[in-house]
Amino acid sequence: MESNDLPSGIIKRNFFLHIHANRVHVHSMKPTYTFGLGIILGFLFLIMIFTGVILMIYYTPSVDMAYQSVKDIVNVVPGGRIIRNMHRWASQGMVIVVFLHLLRVFYTGSYLGKRSLNWVIGVVLLIITLLSNFSGYLLPWDQLAYWAVTIGSNIAASARELTDLLGITNAFDPGGFLKKLLIGGESVGQAALSRFFTLHVIFLPLSMLILLGIHFWRIRKDGGLSRPLKYANDKGSTNKWYAWPVLMWTELGLFVLVVLVVLFVALLADAPLLEQANPSFAENPAKSPWYFLGIQELVSYSAFAGGLLIPVLYLVFLFSIPYRDREDGYVGEWFSGKRGLKVVWRSAVFAFLLVVMQLFVIIRFGWLRDWIPGISQWFVMLINPATITGGIFILLAEVIRRKSKSTRLGALALFTSTFVALLIFTALGIWFRGPNWEFFWSLKQWPVI
């Protein structure tokens, strides 16, 4: 049967065709257009919910019992270890895939035109994915969790560097307020555990569920996935295929594959569980979860610049992309063609060299305070690799935008350079920072403390 001759009875009876668009454009079917990343993300979210509900039955969110209840899940509850591992690895998978999906949507110009709102919803989903992950991190109440969240909560208080310098912290302390809002006090304890638990099992999953509903609805309202201009006038059934049966079975196959991969990883590797949290014995180095290590690296230069200024500017940039770049002609085209691709790889190489050179200087020769010990903290806060890198990238993007008279090329430059920098800072935090946040080529070089 021709795909376009689907009897209407099938549409009425088929549940899948009620939640999925029943006709899909041929361009959207190309595996190299979406790589199935959005759907994989949705499937990972389903795994998170399913395994999370089981874990919740056995988990106790109290400082005295949380650790033991996780130990029981791992050692006593039948299948508990696998369920916990699946939950953990699916959540890590979500963080990686959400960034890959962001890259695919950005580089195919899929925020252009009427899709700007869905891009903004996507950025909120990205934030919720990270926060869901971070709030779950504390729940096992082991040393890893405790000190990672302690670091995270200190990052939340980064504004204090500025208010301290202005001498107004006693009267106006937004950093302290944010930290208190997050953990319910000055240090991580029962209040933090209760807050994180509520955020993790109710507030964030519910918000994600609602926003995902809107995200998927918007895709259909926006006329399906983005596609190049040459297909813009394809209306009705032109160049479209019914989603049933080929796409439906492909997506079901993908679902089985995602479950199998997560299960396989869960069988191979256990989610970490160190000894019970001990607030009087700090881990050294105390590292935040890996996806915040880029920020932690920037915080090591300046709390205010790295923990607040740069992340806020980055979010403002992400949210504002579709409103600053409105060159709708580039929609649905990977890298906006050859000119865009050239800007992308040049920006990537430039960002790589700039960040690595600065890191070489800071690791080998130190920074302002090492050179001029009495220097004012204002200089350290304003002139450091976080602010220099950010400033140069903005300048570069502006030059490209003006010279090419193209906001899309400017956006490509800024997005690419900041993303490469984020990757390098994160990799540095994961693999090359050891005790006292010093640089080490490998774990074997760490001093015994």
User: Which residues lie near ligand HEM (CB under 6 A)?
Assistant: 34, 37-39, 41-42, 45, 98, 101-102, 105, 110-111, 115, 118-119, 122-123, 125-126, 129, 212, 215, 219, 225-226
Nearer to ligand HEM, 130 or 159 (CB): 130
Q: At what angle do helices 337-365 and 407-427 cross, to 10 degrees?
A: 40
Nearer to ligand HEM, 37 or 49 (CB): 37
Q: Which two tokens stand for residue 160?
A: 């204090």
Least separation in angstroms between CB 20 and ligand HEM = 10
What phi and psi, each to the nearest 5 degrees, are found at residue 382?
A: -95, -25
Least separation in angstroms between CB 100 and ligand HEM = 10
Q: Looking up tokens 């300048």, which residue turns up?
A: 395
Nearer to ligand HEM, 169 or 407 (CB): 407
**Amino acid at the residue 333:** E
**Amino acid at the residue 132:** S
Nearer to ligand HEM, 256 or 363 (CB): 256
b or e along 8-26 (b: 16 or more beta carbons within 10 Å of the residue's beta carbon)? eeebeebebbeebbbbbbe
Distances (CA, A) of 160 to 188, 304, 308, 380, 415: 18, 7, 10, 15, 29
Q: CB of 313 within 8 A of CB of 298?
A: no
Least separation in angstroms between CB 136 and ligand HEM = 15
Nearer to ligand HEM, 86 or 183 (CB): 86
Nearer to ligand HEM, 307 or 332 (CB): 332
* SS3 call for 391: helix
CB atoms inside a 10 Å sphere around CB 432: 16
Least separation in angstroms between CB 56 and ligand HEM = 20
Least separation in angstroms between CB 215 and ligand HEM = 6
Least separation in angstroms between CB 169 and ligand HEM = 35
Least separation in angstroms between CB 271 and ligand HEM = 21
232: Cβ contacts below 8 Å, ≥ 6 apart:
none
DSSP string covering 146-186, please?
HHHHHHHHHHHTTTHHHHHHHT-TTT--HHHHHHHHHHSSS
Sort strands 23-25 and 240-242 into parallel, antiparallel or unpaired: antiparallel
27: Cβ contacts below 8 Å, ≥ 6 apart:
33, 225, 227, 228, 231, 239, 332
Nearer to ligand HEM, 150 or 417 (CB): 417
Nearer to ligand HEM, 193 or 420 (CB): 420
Least separation in angstroms between CB 402 and ligand HEM = 26
What phi and psi, each to the nearest 5 degrees, are found at residue 23?
A: -125, 135
Least separation in angstroms between CB 233 and ligand HEM = 17
Nearer to ligand HEM, 119 or 330 (CB): 119
